[in-house]
Structure formats: C-alpha cells, structure tokens
Structure 1
C-alpha cells in the first residue's frame, strides 16, 4: 500500500474532527459516530481496505479522545461511552472492509468487461483476416491495449528453440497439458495453438498476471486458433475449387474440341482425299472447294472463339472506342452473315436519326455476329430473324429475335457461362462460347447482354449499350 493512499486516510480523520469541534454542543455522540463511519465508507471506496481500517482506528481514537467525556482524554469512566467507542470501531472496520471489497469486485468486473469487449472486437476483426500475418497484426493491435502484451508472434517449436529463451521442459509441458506457460522474469508467455505452433507473447512491464489470468490467455489463444483454422480450411477450399474449375474447364475444352473440331476436320480430310483422286467433275470440284472453305471457316471461328475468350478472361483486351453510328456496324455484320448463310432471312427495324455511340466497332461487330449466328442456328428455316433497334432512356437496345424452340424456363443466365449450351447433346455446331464472349464485350463497354423468351415462341437476345454524351458534329469535324 503506497503512502499516497494512507495519507488521505489519516488527514481526513483530523479534518473531520476539526469540523465537528464547533458543533460539539449541538450534536450528540451517536450522530458524530455515524459521521465517522460515513468517512470510513468514503475512504474504503476510494483507497481500499488498509486505508479504511487505518481510518477507522484513527476515527475511533479521535472520537474517544475529543468528544467522549472526559474530553481530550482516553480515560473513559463510563461503560456506555466505552462501549459506544468500541462498537463504532468494530462497525467502522466492518463497513470499511465491505466497502473496499465491493470496490475490488467493481474493479474486477470493469476489467472483465473491458477484456470481454476486447475479445469480441478481436474475434470480429479476425473474421476479415486472410493470412496469418494479418492475424498477428490484428491481435497485436487489440491485445496490447488491454492485456499489456507488447508483441505477439506465431512461431513453430523449432523456431522457438533457436531464437527465444524458452526451455525444452516448458515446450514439453505445453505440448502435454496444452496450457500456457508464463515466465514473468523473462517477460514472455507461450500459448499453444497446435502441436507444432505456438503464440509467443512479449509482455510489458505493467503486465498484470492477476487480471490476465491463464484462462484469459487460453481464450485469446483459442480465438486466434479458430481464425488460423478458418484461413487454413478456406485456403484448402479455394485450392480445391480452383482445381475443380480447372478440371471442369479442361474437360469442357476437350469435349468441345473432340466434337466441334473433329467433325469439320473429318469433312476436310474426306474432301481433300476426293480432290486428290482427280475423278470429280469441274462442277463437283467447285462444290467440294466451297464446302472445304466453309469447314475451314468453321474451324477458324472455333479457334478464334477460344483465343478471344482467353484474352477477355485474362483482361488483356484493350478497347479502341470511337464515336460512330451503330447502323454501319449492323450493316457490316449483315454482309458477313449473308455471305455464309445465303438462305437465312433477316428483317430489320431500325429507326432513323439514331445518335452515335462510343464503342469498339470490331468488338461490337463480334457481339452482333455471335448473336445472329446463335439465332440462325436455332431458328426455323422458313422463318425470318428479326433485328430491332430501339432507344430506351439513356441506352440503345439492339434486339435479335428468332422463332426457334426458345430458352429453358430455368437457367437462362447459365447460358452466358463458358462452354454452356441450351442443349448439351445437339447436332448444332458450337462449343458454348459465343454468348459468354458477347456478354463480356458488352460489359467492357458498360453495357449488357440479356435473353428472354418471346410470347409467341422463340428467344430474343438484347444488346444494351449506353448512349453517353455524343459530341457535336462541329467537334467531330475539328478532330478530323
């Protein structure tokens, strides 16, 4: 007990005695005794048990010496006055003891509340950690404020043997009992996490072993252990998901290549063998060369789709955006479509005076090609494909609608995944990359590609691009 707590206990007794001297004739002895007991309560609540006992003894002596007859003498002649002084002393000591005990309990409750709040904040912040280094950083930040821990580190038993003053006996004790070892003389504490890893805590000089009990340190270690286990299993789950996705992608690529690349290659091989024989007529040779050209284009589109999807997913593609009319890109795409599908009919509904848009013409042409190719593949042969352009608010919609079997009621969004097709087993060529490429390009332009079923049958795919703020014609001429 320091003197700065005992001194107020002594001086307060004398101060109260001097205050009560003028009122000696007006207050009876019982009231004065109660005031002395009240002073003991105040001292006990502020300065603890020893200060309260000292104050109670001084109060009883001063009370008997100054106020109990004969005045200013401890030779008390009447038994009742002696009994009153002794009762006041006993009561004051008991009250002081109880008050000091309540004070200690209140302080302990406050410390536990702070520790519980710290553990809660620690657990909450550890949920966002992704690496053991982040766990150490978060634990350092929170534990240093409340437990007097300067630094923590997650170490292995081999590292501890080499770099820290921890005996082999202490390590073996921790492994067997799974209890923390606190060495106050060395200012360290070692807490078990796993059989080979420990939490090494560097303790500050004001570390309170009573408040920071081994049970509390065990709780801290368990919270950190849960965070490390979560990180470990999350990493395993992430690696498993990556392996599963890679395996699924590899199987999809192999399946697509085995079907959609082998078929045109077989046709090409057969045509080249027939041409090598030289027995076909000129007309037959021309037809065979045309078919050979078409099969080569099919192989080229398949390889191009694979390469484009790889570039888009790796983020290596750069947009060459310019302000330009959308109808020119539509026209260029239709010319290419009609050169390959001569018998397919496409009806247009494009309003005049459409504002220019800022986009990459080559990539948007690729989006339109993929959507039109998809519509031609799944549409009825005798029904036309509809291409409709509409301005909707701050966007421009290009809708390509067919009269085919339509889309499945559930899983429309899945059609925009890589290697996803409406019909898994189908004689319609394709690997399921066209819609994924179209959506990725549209999103790179700040737009989107969506799909829905038509009321009268068939499907409708919508390319939506933002209008933006097109420059004036004079500004464009100045740039040129």
Structure 2
C-alpha cells in the first residue's frame, strides 16, 4: 500500500496550534530584524512593503488564524521600530495612520487569498489521495476470490487510512448475520444490521453518531449484499459528511466485489454440476446399454426353461417364473436409466405425428396389463377429442410409467382413472388413483431424478419414472404436475399444447 492511502480521511485544513502562531510571529520578527539592519539603506516606505511577505508566508504555511495574527503584529512592529518616536507605539505624524491602515488591509487581503489557495490545494491533494486510494482498493478487490479476502482488504485500507476498525457483516438467511472474518457479532450490532438491510436509506444507515459504529449498506447492482461496520479510532469526533461519502464509495466497491464473488461461486457450482451430470449420464448410458443384452438373454432363458424338456416340477416352475419376473423388472429399470440418459443428453429427437390419444392410452394399458390386473380401470376419453401431434413411442412410455406408478401404490381392488378434455390452448389428461396419495409438501420433488415418495420403501424402483415423464412432456412443450385429490389418492395432470390437425381428404362423390 502506497503513502497515498495514509491519512486519506484527513479533513480539509489543519487546526492551528500555538506553535503555528509562534512560527508566524517569528516570521514577522525576522522581517523586522532584517529591516532594522537595513534601516540605513532603505526608507520606511520600502520597509513597510516587506511585512506582507511574512503575512503571505504565514497564510500559505499555517492558515488563516496565524496569518491574521502576523498582519496585526506587522503593523505593531512597524510602528514600534520604524515610526518616530521610535520604540514606542505613539505616532508623531498622523499620516502614518493611513500607512498602518493600508498595511493592515493589504496583509489581511493577502492572508485571506493565500488561505483560500491553500485550502483549495489541500482539497485537491485530498481528492487525489482519495482517487488513488479508491483505484488501489478497487484493483485489489477485483483480484479477490472470496469474501474473506474482501474483508481483509477492506479492514486494511480503513485501518491504514484513518485508524478505523472495519468489519463486513453478510446476511446468511433467516435474519442471521455472520462476519466475513468469522468473528462473532453481538446481538445489538446484528439488530442494527437487520434494520440497515431492511431500509438502506433509513436513519440507521451511515448514522454519523459521535463515538458510535457507523453502518453503511453494501448496495450492489442486484441487491444489498451486506453491511460495512466502521468504528473510528478517534471516538471524540463524528465522521464528517465528506468521510461518510467516501465510506459510501468504498461500500459500493465492496458490494460490487461481493456480488462478483457470489456469481463466480454460482458459475463454478453450475459448471461442476453440469460436468457431474454429463459424467453421470454417460455412465448410466454405458451401464444400461451393457446390461440390457444379458438381461434380455436372461428373460429368454427363463422362458425357455419350461420348453427345454419334460415339464418342470411346481417348485422349479415357480423359481423359473420368479427369475423371469425379476429379470423383466430389472430390464425395465435399466430401460429407464437408458431413456433418462438419452433424454438428458439431448440426443432424442421427437418423431411427431398426428395421433389419437385413445390409441396411445390403449397401447399403454396393454403393455401394463400384468401390473394393472386386480385394479379397476375407468376411462373417460371423449370421442370428439382432437388429434395430438406427439411422439407415440415416448408418449406411450409416459402413460406406462404413470400407470405402473399408480398400480404400484394403489392397493388391490382400487381404481385407476384416465380422463381427458380439450382446453382452449391445450389437451389436458389426468391419471388418478385412490391410493394413499402423495407426501404433503413434496409433490414437485417427486419429479427429480432418483427421488421417491418414501426414502426407505419396500416398493421396487429407483425414482426415475416420474423424471422421465416430466422430461418427455417438457420435450413436447407441455407441463405436468402432481397433486393430491380432494377425495383421496394422487392425481397427475398433463397438459400438452393443442395444434391444428391437417384436414382430412374429402372422398370423391
């Protein structure tokens, strides 16, 4: 850190002390001593012109007060040493009164002008130090990668700048705050920080109370990122308006740095998640593809066992049937994994054709006939339902997964219903059951991959069926939601965009 940062909060002007008045008096005395030595060579008219030089020096070096003191002292010494009768303050010639008045006026005007120039010079130098300090701080903040580094840079600049102790208070959610320096915060400070965050322009923000800690909100481009708490080293003076403005400028730089670090962290997490997702989809795709062939062969071998020779005993036939069913179930799970990997990779292209909904539903019911055995089915598909432009294979997988899910969680003898209706902009299809329903508060979480209604459940499955349903429906430009029916059970509501089917060709008369 350069010397420009040092004392960058110093207020304009310096309070004159007795030493400055003494130095101004010495300057006037030096002029008087020189004039006394030169008295035989200079007329009093010329000598009187030397005293404004001492006043100008005092104004430029020490400020207004010492300069005014030097002006009056100059008149007094000129009268005492150079006006007859000498070594007295008596005036033998009244014309010297005009000389005294002119000398005093010139000295005072010189003192005022020199003082203003000094103040302007000090103000320009202070602004230059402020600008350089802001540039240096901004450069360091732009290289910071964590909130802790930003807190260290802030504390160092404010400590070296004007001896202040600074802390960054960052909201953690739920009304809680934590210091970026990992130091505990007292409850009174946290309460003030909450008030500043709630109302950044209110009376609690940057209150210049003497001896109190000043809280400046860190207003970023998107939102308030926290609070800058500053406790001045000298508690006897309140912060000036200029110092508060400089603190607010510092706070703006800190807020921008915090916001940049926040979005960098989000970008890094997103990149990691994307890379992990791609790796997982690749592994799932490769694993599913390699498992499909042996599972298909296992199902075929289980089917061939009863045909390989004489009829199997009942116990062995039951084992063969069990092997077949478990192989089919495992093959279905592997199929779900492979379908999910393909959908997530974006390699699946929809083969859209205009299809009647009842054909897709009928194919799904036939494919899941074994799982639906023992349940009551109710269909409400209007005959005037318009055609739908869908990928029939993928849409059949949607209904197969929903029907399998309903059959899995609905007790034997329960009812499963499929009904559809045409809306103004969409076709709505509802798959409902009268089972135990969905876990409250978690209806949308069920569509996440590997998410199940119950974490530990005896029901087979890995939690991909509904995720595949959502992916296929969204690929068609539709929406799906899960909810509990008022009369009990679960409802899955699909809405697919409604298009304009092609006109049927007219038969020749």
Normalising by structure 1, what TM-score? 0.50
2:385–2:421: 8 Å Cα contact kept in structure 1? no
Residues in 2 aligned to 1:376 and 1:122: alpha-carbon distance in whole angstroms? 63
CA 1:236–1:385: 2 relative to 1, 3 Å = closer
Residues in 1 aligned to 2:362 and 2:305: alpha-carbon distance in whole angstroms? 38
Residues in 1 aligned to 2:117 and 2:265: alpha-carbon distance in whole angstroms? 51
Residues in 1 aligned to 2:135 and 2:474: alpha-carbon distance in whole angstroms? 44
Q: 1:473 aligns to what SS in structure 2?
A: coil
> Could you tell me which residue of structure 2 aligns to residue 98 of structure 1?
115
Residue 86 of structure 1: how far off its partner (Å): 1.5
Residue 298 of structure 1: how far off its partner (Å): 2.1
1:451 matched to 2:482? The reply is yes
Residues in 2 aligned to 1:273 and 1:360: alpha-carbon distance in whole angstroms? 34
Residues in 2 aligned to 1:331 and 1:243: alpha-carbon distance in whole angstroms? 38
Which has more helix, going by share of residues?
1
Normalising by structure 2, what TM-score? 0.48
Residues in 2 aligned to 1:123 and 1:455: alpha-carbon distance in whole angstroms? 60
Residues in 1 aligned to 2:132 and 2:358: alpha-carbon distance in whole angstroms? 69
2:483–2:490: 8 Å Cα contact kept in structure 1? yes
Q: 2:368 aligns to what SS in structure 1?
A: helix
1:424 matched to 2:484? The reply is no
> Could you tell me which residue of structure 2 aligns to residue 12 of structure 1?
none
> Could you tell me which residue of structure 2 aligns to residue 462 of structure 1?
493
1:87 matched to 2:104? The reply is yes
Residue 409 of structure 1: how far off its partner (Å): 1.2
1:380 matched to 2:411? The reply is yes
Residues in 2 aligned to 1:268 and 1:289: alpha-carbon distance in whole angstroms? 10
Residues in 1 aligned to 2:376 and 2:273: alpha-carbon distance in whole angstroms? 44
1:410 matched to 2:427? The reply is no
Which ranges of structure 1 fall in alignment gaps of 5 or more residues?
A: 1-43, 54-75, 131-218
1:298 matched to 2:329? The reply is yes
1:438 matched to 2:455? The reply is no
The alignment's C-alpha RMSD in Å is 5.1
Q: 1:308 aligns to what SS in structure 2?
A: helix
Residues in 1 aligned to 2:478 and 2:323: alpha-carbon distance in whole angstroms? 38
Please list the CA deviations of residues 217-240 of structure 1 after superposition, one character each: whole Å capped at 9, or x if unmatched. Answer: xx99x979x779958994998499
Residues in 2 aligned to 1:441 and 1:110: alpha-carbon distance in whole angstroms? 62
1:397–1:465: 8 Å Cα contact kept in structure 2? yes
Which ranges of structure 2 fall in alignment gaps of 5 or more residues?
A: 1-58, 68-92, 147-249
CA 1:239–1:369: 2 relative to 1, 3 Å = closer
Residues in 2 aligned to 1:112 and 1:394: alpha-carbon distance in whole angstroms? 65
Please list the CA deviations of residues 311-370 of structure 1 after superposition, one character each: whole Å capped at 9, or x if unmatched. Answer: 122222222223333332222222222266444432111123222333222211111111
> Could you tell me which residue of structure 1 aligns to residue 194 of structure 2?
none
Residues in 2 aligned to 1:124 and 1:285: alpha-carbon distance in whole angstroms? 75
Residue 454 of structure 1: how far off its partner (Å): 1.5
CA 1:243–1:388: 2 relative to 1, 3 Å = closer
1:274–1:280: 8 Å Cα contact kept in structure 2? no
Residues in 2 aligned to 1:232 and 1:340: alpha-carbon distance in whole angstroms? 48
> Could you tell me which residue of structure 1 aligns to residue 350 of structure 2?
319
What is the 5 A alignment of 1:319-398? 319-338=350-369, 341-398=372-429
What is the 5 A alignment of 1:21-420? 78-108=95-125, 110-111=127-128, 230=261, 234=265, 238=269, 275=306, 278=309, 280=311, 293-338=324-369, 341-420=372-451
CA 1:117–1:421: 2 relative to 1, 3 Å = same
Residues in 1 aligned to 2:133 and 2:384: alpha-carbon distance in whole angstroms? 69
Q: 1:98 aligns to what SS in structure 2?
A: helix
